[in-house]
Amino acid sequence: MKATRPWVPYLFLVPAVAVFGFAVLYPVAMTGWYSLTEWNGYGAQVFVGFANYVKIAADTLFAQSFLHVIFYILATLVLEVLVGLILAGIVASRKASLWFRVAIFTPVMLPMVVVAVLWSFVYNPDFGLVNGLLEAVGLGDWQRVWLGDPATALIAICVVSGWVFAGFYMTIFYAAFKQIPSEVIEAAKLDGANEWQLFWRIKVPMIRNAVEVGILLCVTGGFQGFDLFYVLTNGGPYYSTEIPTTYLVRAVFKNGEVGYGSAMAVVLTLVVVVVGLLFARLRRIGAHL
């Protein structure tokens, strides 16, 4: 379609581009610039080249924070994506599952802070659900200060994340399972496939696209995690739940290391973008196989 005047299309774009450019693109560029400087946010900004990146390479706490977030991503791939996939498979082959899907999806609706405060009580050593249930079933020895113990804090956070998002992935996969034509399932059954084979060999490959998107969301979303970690442990105890974002937020907003924090943000951004692009490429190659 031709515009009545050549500048008309731009007029429609001005508000969106202006807000996005002002609040996202310009700050992205400035964060990149900050990462090359030493600056406390107020005084003189000193250009230091790649010194911040050299410092990152030697920062064992930053390396650890990356290991923690990778552990978190691997754990949530199981607790969210795999659990969601299996639940969706069970639910999709049954009638009257609406109540179940509603129940499991509910936590997705809640602000993460609400979830985190609630679960800090669930894990409370004195009156919490977890220790109470262990006591009730005679496993009192297993009781822990879940969030206060470096050995259990990280996995405890992963479990909360699973509680929230398993229902989310279940919903995505459920919708995809429902798209599979019933003739395909019938044909496989006639060929003598059992439920297990039917699920892993027929149904899951047929919703491959949804599963791939789910994995991508879980991985890239995992790198950006913050809310649960900040409220539940804020990196502690003894840095056992430190992830890149809790670390860099403290560096920038507590310690005034704006340059160093920005360099960490740039590294994290590159990881997220590269993972996202690699994944898109792998999918394109995979689609030709």
Partner 1 sequence: MRLRAPSILITVLLVLVALVFFFPLVWMVLSSFKTNSEIFQTPFALPTSIDFTQWATAWEVGNIGQYALNSIIATATSVLAILAFSSAAAFAFSRYRFRGQGIIMGALALGLLLPLQSYFIAQSTMFRDLYLTDTRLALIIPYTAMGIPLATYLLKVYLDAVPEELFEAARIDGAGDFRLFTLIALPLLKPGIATVAIFSALSSWNEFLLALLYIQDDSLKTIPTGLLAFSSRYVTDYGLLFSALSIITIPMVVIYIVFNKQITEGITAGSLK
Interactions with partner 1, residue window 30-69 (CB under 8 A): 30-31, 33-34, 41
| 118 is a contact residue toward partner 1 (CB under 8 A) | yes
CB nearer partner 1, residue 77 or residue 249? 249
Q: Which residues of 132-145 are buried (b: 16+ CB within 10 A; e: fewer)?
A: eebeeeeeeeeebe
* Closest distance to partner 1 from the beta carbon of 214 (Å): 9
Region of 66-74, 111-119, 138-146, 232-240 interacting with partner 1 (CB under 8 A): 111-119
Q: Within the chain, how many helices (H) and strands (E) appear?
A: 16, 2
For residue 262, give both structure tokens. 């920005």
**CB of 112 vs partner 1, minimal distance in Å:** 6
Stretch that binds partner 1, among 53-61, 65-73, 119-127, 232-240 (CB under 8 A): 119-127
When asked if residue 278 is in the footprint of partner 1 (CB under 8 A), the reply is no
Q: Which of 113, 151, 184, 278 binds partner 1 (CB under 8 A)?
A: 113
Cis peptide, bond prior to residue 9, ω within 30 of zero: no
Is 278 in contact with 47 (CB distance < 8 Å)? no
Q: What angle do CA 120, 224, 254 make, to 5 degrees?
A: 70
**Helix, strand, or coil here: 38?**
strand
10 in contact with partner 1 (CB under 8 A): yes
Restricted to residues 71-110, the positions that interact with partner 1 (CB under 8 A) are 87, 90-91, 94, 97-110
- The region, left, alpha or beta by phi > 0 then psi within -120 to 50, assigned to residue 39 is beta
CB of 77 to partner 1, least distance (A): 16
If the CB atoms of residues 112 and 147 are measured against partner 1, the closer one turns out to be 112
Q: Which residues pair with 46 in a beta bridge?
A: 38
Q: What angle do CA 81, 87, 91 make, to 5 degrees?
A: 140
Residue 21 found at the interface with partner 1 (CB under 8 A): yes
The first and second tokens of residue 98, run together, are 């609406």
Which of 46, 54, 57, 114 touches partner 1 by CB under 8 A?
114
The DSSP secondary-structure symbol of 140 reads G
Question: Going residue by residue from 240 to 259, which x/- string records binding to partner 1, judged by CB under 8 A?
Answer: ----xx--xx--xx----x-
> Within a 13 Å sphere around the CA of 199, how many CA atoms are in the beta-carbon half?
15
- x/- string (CB under 8 A) for partner 1, residues 170-209? -xx--x------------------xxx-------------
Q: Return the percent helix, strand and coil in the chain, to nearest 5.
A: 75, 0, 25
Least separation in angstroms between CB 150 and partner 1: 22
Residue (4 or 182) nearer to partner 1, CB: 4
215 binds partner 1 (CB under 8 A): no
Least Å from the CB of residue 9 to partner 1: 4
| 3-class DSSP assignment, residue 231 | helix
